[in-house]
Amino acid sequence: MLESIIHFDKNLLVFLNNLGSEQWDPFWLVITNQLYWSPLFLFIFYLTIKAFGWKRGGVMILSMILLVAFSDQFTNLIKNSVQRLRPNNDPEIKHLLRTLINPQSYSFMSGHATTSTFFSVFVVLLLRDKYKYIYFVLFWPLIFAYSRLYLGVHFPIDISVGIIVGVTFANIYYFFFKKVDKKLFIQ
C-alpha cells in the first residue's frame, strides 16, 4: 500500500513538474524565494498595527515571528527524522525532472508549505474580523508551495502534509494566543 502511494506521488510530481516551461522558470524562481515576499509580510504587519495599535499589534507581530521560527525548526526536525530524498536527488526520477535548483536537505515535509500555511492561516484568524479581504492571503501558501513542485524539489505528499500541519498548527497556536491575548489586553 505505502509503495503504491509513493509510486503515485513520484509519478504525479513528474507530471506536474514537466508542465513547466523555460518561459516561466524565472517567475517560479522568484516565487519560491522568501525574500521576494517581504512586501507581503510588511503589509500584514502594517494591517496588524493599524487594526490593534502598536502595543497589542506588536505582540501579535512577535507571535508571528515566533510562529515562523517554531515552524522552521519543527519541519527541520521532521525532515532529519524521516530523511526522504528530495526529488532532485532521487535516483529513480531525477532524470525525468526539470530542476532549476538543487537543495541537498531532505524533502519530507515541505518547510515552505508548512510555514507559509501556518503563518497565513494564523494571520487570517487574527485579522478576519478587521479586514474582510484578508482571506486572499491564503493564496500565498498555495502559490508558494506549488513553486516547490514546479522546481522539482518536493513531492506532492510533502506539500500536502505541510499544508495540513500548517493549518493544524495555526489553529492550535491561535487558540493559545487568544488565551494569552485575553490575559494581557482584555481585562
Instruction: Please give the model's pTM, rounded to 2 decimal places.
Output: 0.91
- Whole-number Cα distances in Å, 68 to 21, 145, 182: 32, 16, 22
Residue 184, judged by CB atoms within 10 A of its CB (0-12, 13-18, 19+), counts as exposed
**Tens of pLDDT along 51-95?**
999 999 999 999 999 999 999 999 999 999 999 999 999 999 999
Q: Which helix (H) or strand (E) element contains residue 176?
A: helix 156-185
Cell 513553486 maps to which residue? 147
- Look up residue 166 and give its three cell numbers: 500548517
**Tens of pLDDT along 84-135?**
999 999 999 999 999 889 888 999 999 999 999 999 999 999 999 999 999 9
Give residue limits of the domains in the chain: 30-185
**Tens of pLDDT along 1-49?**
889 999 999 999 999 999 999 999 999 999 999 889 999 999 999 999 9
